[in-house]
Every structure is written in structure tokens, then in C-alpha cells.
Amino acid sequence: MKQTIDQLPLQQEIATVLKQLGIKESNPAYSTGLKWGGSNNKTTRDIYSPADGNLIATVNMATAKDYEQVITTAQEAFKTWRKVPAPKRGEIVRQVGEKLREHKEALGKLVSYEMGKILQEGLGEVQEMIDICDFAVGLSRQLHGFTMHSERPQHRMYEQYHPLGIVGVISAFNFPVAVWSWNAMLAAVCGDVIVWKPSEKTPLTAIACQHILREVLAENELPEGIFNLVIGDAEIGSLMSKDTRVPLVSATGSTRMGKKVGEAVGARLGRSLLELGGNNAIIVTENADLEMALRAIVFGAVGTCGQRCTSTRRIIVHDTVYDQLKERLLKVYDNLPIGHPLDSTTLVGPLIDKDAVNAFTNALQEVQQEGGTLLIGGEILSGENYKTGTYVTPAIVEAENHFEMVQEETFAPILYLIRYSGDVENAIELQNGVKQGLSSSIFSTNLLETEAFLSHWGSDCGIANVNIGTSGAEIGGAFGGEKDTGGGRESGSDAWRIYMRRQTNTINYSREMPLAQGIKFDIMD
């Protein structure tokens, strides 16, 4: 659990990274792609690293006037961008992907340092951005519609998709750049323009991305307003949610936040794309390969220090293998390398801030009051290597699925061990017995069990995996969940459709005017 990194070289390295990515001591409040603004705002926010508590930089917070400037610029840009052929828009996104490749190491380190996830995960997040750029480039030549036969002679019917307009993106701190890119790159090839409000906890990575985008926009002599950024608090998110000029708002965060966004957008009959909380379970049956299950459980539960919406929260284990798996988990947890996220030996970095630490300790206290048994972890680490107070030891708790705290999502590394007996349907019922419905998994070598899990009476989650964990989705599939998770779908498959408006067209190439359903209405008689 000791950090081995030398702090002085680290500070020099971070300074180099910040310079390479365009981050300064004080940063503007907004960007319209080519121009920056709001540099003299009175409200500012200091951004400290949860890894070592050092001040990274300061950002100016956008005002309502700044937001208005960004939206007005985006509206004008849309008039031009929507007329650019989709494959040409794809070429711009391809260039963005190339720039991200050039800056992958630096941006990955900034993600790690600003958010707290280990470097491998920070680099993986940037790779996810690159992957979605590649996906979007191919998509730019496949924005297809449908044709269908008309009941009227010499008529042709078809459907096509058109750009929607401004897409608002509200992203969360735990994936400060990847989820924005899912939305932004798909929306861009669809002909939309994007206004991004990142989490106020992790705005520097967003500013870095905007600098990278600026290079591409300038090199291609494109107008400002295609990719926009607004640094602000919940007030900016509220303005965006209520703004009729923003036909789609994509929001990632807690269920509580998502309900507010959904209500505000729905009140004006806009579209919302919500990616909210998860309470994800892995079922381990008596027919599971326990070595495989163990690896998936540990990564899912402690990766990003339990701060993924797909983090593994619950393990539902058959009583015949329960004690064996429990023993193995305790051994692994007892030796988890916890430390600075940029240290190559670290597997578990810090929580994002002390509010998250308080949520962690409060949840452990409450679940024990309900009857849960804390088996390991739950400490707040202190000392020279952990002076930020944001480092904790991941916890394992024996619990019952109906406990109030087990029913809730705690954005921290708490893993609940739940025992089941009988057949797999009992385990599936426990897994589905929560309000959230994002990701799920089963470990079994029994075909009957795995097929039941994937059937229409099986997992009720948007993601259901067999013999892999709940975390680590690929960009090719649509990402999202059901119930309190929000019901949205982002990233791959046909998720692109939500960024476009659908239109049905009928063409009459005859000299007659027949009506559908055989209706007779001839005013010329």
C-alpha cells in the first residue's frame, strides 16, 4: 500500500502534460471551438488532484450570459455544418481521432491525475475516444433510411434521417472525456453541433479536449460553434435542460440528477438521453469457473475505486461455492495495491473527494446497522502517502439483497456478498430486485443457466454478460440501462438515431391523386 513514485519528477511531468494540452494556471469559462471567453469572470473554481491534493489549475465559471453566447454561436454553426455531406463530417472526426492518438499519453495522464483513476484506466478512456471516432467515421457513410411499398399506384415511400440541431452533453466526473466523445462524435457525423457541460469536478480534461478540437477546426477552416464547451455548475445544466433551442440533452450522472434533467426537458417536450445509476450484480452459480469469476469481480468492484456506473456492487453466490469464493476474495482484497494513480504498481487510486469518502463510510455504517457484516476494508488511509484523505480500503460486506443500503448505489468500493440457494431463477430474481438496471453478469459453464439469464425472463438490465464482468463495455454495442438507470442508449449499434430527426416521405410520380385507404374525395366532379 506504499507509494513508490517520486513526487518531484511527477510535478515536473504534470507541468509538461498541462503545457502540452493547453492548460494554464487560470482557464476560460467557455469555448466555441475557435475562440475562448469568460476569462475575467468573478466566480472561479480551483481544481485539486485527489491523488496528492496539489492545485492543478483554476477555471472561470460560466455565467448565464456566457451560456447565451455559446448557444447563439452554436445555432449559427448548425446552419453551415448540417449542409456538409456526412462523409465529409466523418473526415473531420477522423482527424480528431488522429489528434487524440498524438495526445493519448498526455491526456490519459491528465485524466488519471485530475479524476484519480489509475493510469491504465486513464489511457483506456482516451483509447475509447479514439475507438468511437473510428466508429463514427464508418457511420458517416451508413446513415441509412428505409424504403417501403405504397398501397397507391406509382407512389414511392421512404424514411430518412436529418440532423437534429444542438445536442447538449452533461458529463460526469468518473469518465470525464469518454462519455462526452460517445455523444459528440456520433452527433457530429449526424450533422449536429455540440454544447458540452463537463462535471465541475473535472473540467481540465474537457478544456484539454477543446484545445485538441481547435487544432482540427482551424486546420479545416471550419466555423466556430460546432464543438462548444461551457464550464459551470448545476445552474448551467438547468439552463440547458430548459432551453428549447437544445432539442436533445444527454446527461450522465446520478438518478437524482437525471430525474431533474428528464423532468425539465420533458416539460418542453424535448428529448433526453439519460445514463444514470447502476447497482450491478454478478451471479456466481455452482457451475462457475471461480478463477475467472474472481478476476472479473475484483476489477469490477475496485476499478476506478468503485466509481463506475458499471461497477460491481453485488455478488450473488450459490451456497455450494459461497465460502470458497469468499475466502479467495478476502485474500485478494488484503493485498490490493492502493496508492497514487500514476504509480505503475497501483491498482486502486483515490475517491474523487471527501464527500465521496463520507458517502463510503456512512453506507458502511448503515448497512451494518441493518445487519450486514463488514468482512474487510472500510478504512480511510492516512499518513504521508495518503494525506488527501481520499484513499480508502475497498470493503466487502455480507448482506441481504433487501437491505436498504444494498438497494441503493453508493459510488465507492463496497462489494456486497449475497448468498442464494436452489436454481438460477432464484439468483436472477435477486439480481433484478433493485431499482436500477444497467449492467449484469453471470458466471456459469452450464448452458441452461446462461441461456435462462439471457432470456426474456432473465436479466432485466440493458447489459447482460456471460463469463465476463459488469464493467468494461466495448464501444460497438449500445450502452445503457433500464428502470432508474434512465433507459438511454449511447455509443454503438444504432444509438446514432437519437441524434437525428426522422422523416417519412411519399412521392407521387403519377398524374393521378389517389388517397390512402381508398378514400374518395374528388372535388373536380
Residue 434 DSSP SS3: coil
Q: CA-CA distance, 108 to 131, in Å (whole number)?
A: 14
pLDDT at residue 8, rounded to an integer: 55
Is residue 514 in some structural domain? Answer: no
- Long-range CB contacts (< 8 A, 24+ apart) of 237-244? 237/170, 237/197, 237/261, 238/264, 239/64, 239/67, 240/67, 240/168, 240/170, 240/195, 240/197, 241/168, 241/265, 242/267, 242/268, 243/71, 243/168, 244/268, 244/270
Residue 522 amino acid letter: D
Q: CA-CA distance, 346 to 364, in Å (whole number)?
A: 24
Is residue 512 in some structural domain? Answer: no
Is residue 515 in some structural domain? Answer: no
**Alpha helices for 220-313 (secondary structure H):** 234-242, 255-267, 290-302
Q: CA-CA distance, 241 to 235, in Å (whole number)?
A: 10
Residues 301 and 252 in one domain: no
Residues 99 and 229 in one domain: yes
Residues 272 and 284 in one domain: no
- φ/ψ of 103, rounded to 5, equals -105, 15
The 3 state secondary structure assigned to 474-506 is CCCCEECCEECCCCCCEECCCHHHHHEEEEEEE
Q: Which three cell numbers stand for residue 267?
A: 416539460
Angle between helical axes of 104-115 and 7-20 (0-180°, round to 10)? 120
The yes-or-no answer on residue 275 being catalytic is yes
Is residue 53 in some structural domain? Answer: yes
Q: CA-CA distance, 233 to 179, in Å (whole number)?
A: 18
- Render each residue's pLDDT in the chain as its tens digit; 525 residues: 333 344 557 888 999 999 999 999 999 999 999 999 999 999 999 999 999 999 999 999 999 999 999 999 999 999 999 999 999 999 999 999 999 999 999 999 999 999 999 999 999 999 999 999 999 999 999 999 999 999 999 999 999 999 999 999 999 999 999 999 999 999 999 999 999 999 999 999 999 999 999 999 999 999 999 999 999 999 999 999 999 999 999 999 999 999 999 999 999 999 999 999 999 999 999 999 999 999 999 999 999 999 999 999 999 999 999 999 999 999 999 999 999 999 999 999 999 999 999 999 999 999 999 999 999 999 999 999 999 999 999 999 999 999 999 999 999 999 999 999 999 999 999 999 999 999 999 999 999 999 999 999 999 999 999 999 999 889 999 999 999 999 999 999 999 999 999 999 999 999 999 999 999 887 765
Q: Which of 114, 125, 128, 275 is catalytic?
A: 275
Residues 245 and 348 in one domain: no
Stretch (H or E) spanning 200: none
Q: CA-CA distance, 489 to 463, in Å (whole number)?
A: 11
Burial class from Cβ neighbours inside 10 Å (0-12, 13-18, 19+) for residue 380 reads middle
What is the chain's Cα-based Rg? 25
Residues 255 and 395 in one domain: no
Query: What's the distance, CA 465 to chain centroid?
Result: 18
Q: CA-CA distance, 506 to 147, in Å (whole number)?
A: 10
Q: Which three cell numbers stand for residue 76?
A: 449559427
CATH code assigned at 27: 3.40.605.10
User: Which pTM was predicted?
Assistant: 0.96
Residues 171 and 304 in one domain: no
The answer to whether 444 and 434 have CB atoms below 8 angstroms apart is no
Domain total in the chain: 2
Residues 251 and 290 in one domain: no
The answer to whether 136 and 110 have CB atoms below 8 angstroms apart is no
Residues 382 and 449 in one domain: yes
Residues 345 and 241 in one domain: no
Domain of residue 97 covers 7-276+490-502
Is residue 513 in some structural domain? Answer: no
Is residue 521 in some structural domain? Answer: no
Residues 300 and 231 in one domain: no
Q: CA-CA distance, 344 to 358, in Å (whole number)?
A: 27
Residues 302 and 257 in one domain: no
Residues 409 and 428 in one domain: yes
Q: CA-CA distance, 265 to 113, in Å (whole number)?
A: 34
Is residue 509 in some structural domain? Answer: no
CA-based angle 262:268:272, to the nearest 5?
A: 35
Nearest to 205 by CA among 239, 180, 168: 180
Is residue 397 in some structural domain? Answer: yes
CATH code assigned at 356: 3.40.309.10
